[in-house]
């Protein structure tokens, strides 16, 4: 999982130009962000790994990942449009991307609705995006 998260982080840093490289971070929970983060930002969260034994001693791992684009909430609709633009760039960067053949398969899952997250003295909005990676070891 460590290598997968790092490869996704690298792809998003190069593929989503609206977000500074240092603001594409690995997160333990969508409501726990580094204090030093600036917005817009992207959080990458691991999921529960499912292992399946295959013939020949191989193990297939299904590794779900959730990507959270974050934008600071303002009083108009501009942050919503910015969030949706970043979400599109995330999908473009990760869909059909086997991460230099690290994984055998990637599927783009559903996107959740936009929701607010309390951050320090204000709110940011996010839109959880789900991806599943399949790897054989």
Tens digit of each residue's pLDDT, the chain (137 residues):
999 999 999 999 999 999 999 999 999 999 999 999 999 999 999 999 999 998 888 999 999 999 999 999 988 899 999 999 999 999 999 999 999 999 999 999 988 999 999 888 789 999 999 999 999 98
Annotate 64-83 with b (16+ C-beta within 10 A) or e (fewer). Answer: bbbbbbbbebeeeeebeebb
* Separation CA 54–CA 39 (nearest Å): 43
SS3 57: helix
Six token digits for residue 7: 């490869």
If we measure between CA atoms, which residue out of 39, 25, 29, 54 comes closest to residue 122? 39
pTM summary value: 0.93
CATH number, domain 2-136, options 3.30.70.3270, 3.30.2000.10, 3.40.630.30, 3.40.50.720? 3.30.2000.10
pLDDT at 120: 83
Q: Is the peptide bond before 113 cis (omega within 30 degrees of 0)?
A: no
């Amino acid at each position: 999982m460590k290598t997968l998260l790092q490869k996704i982080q690298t792809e998003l840093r190069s593929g989503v130009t609206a977000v500074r490289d240092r603001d594409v971070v690995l997160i333990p929970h969508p409501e726990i962000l580094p204090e030093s983060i600036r917005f817009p930002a992207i959080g990458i969260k691991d999921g529960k790994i499912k292992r399946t034994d295959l013939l020949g001693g191989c193990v297939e791992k299904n590794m779900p990942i959730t990507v959270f684009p974050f934008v600071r909430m303002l009083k108009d609709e501009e942050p919503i449009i910015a969030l949706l633009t970043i979400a599109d760039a995330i999908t473009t960067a990760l869909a059909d991307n086997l991460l230099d053949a690290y994984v055998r398969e990637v599927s783009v899952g559903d996107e959740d609705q936009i929701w607010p997250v309390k951050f320090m003295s204000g709110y940011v909005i996010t839109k959880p995006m789900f991806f599943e990676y399949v790897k054989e070891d």
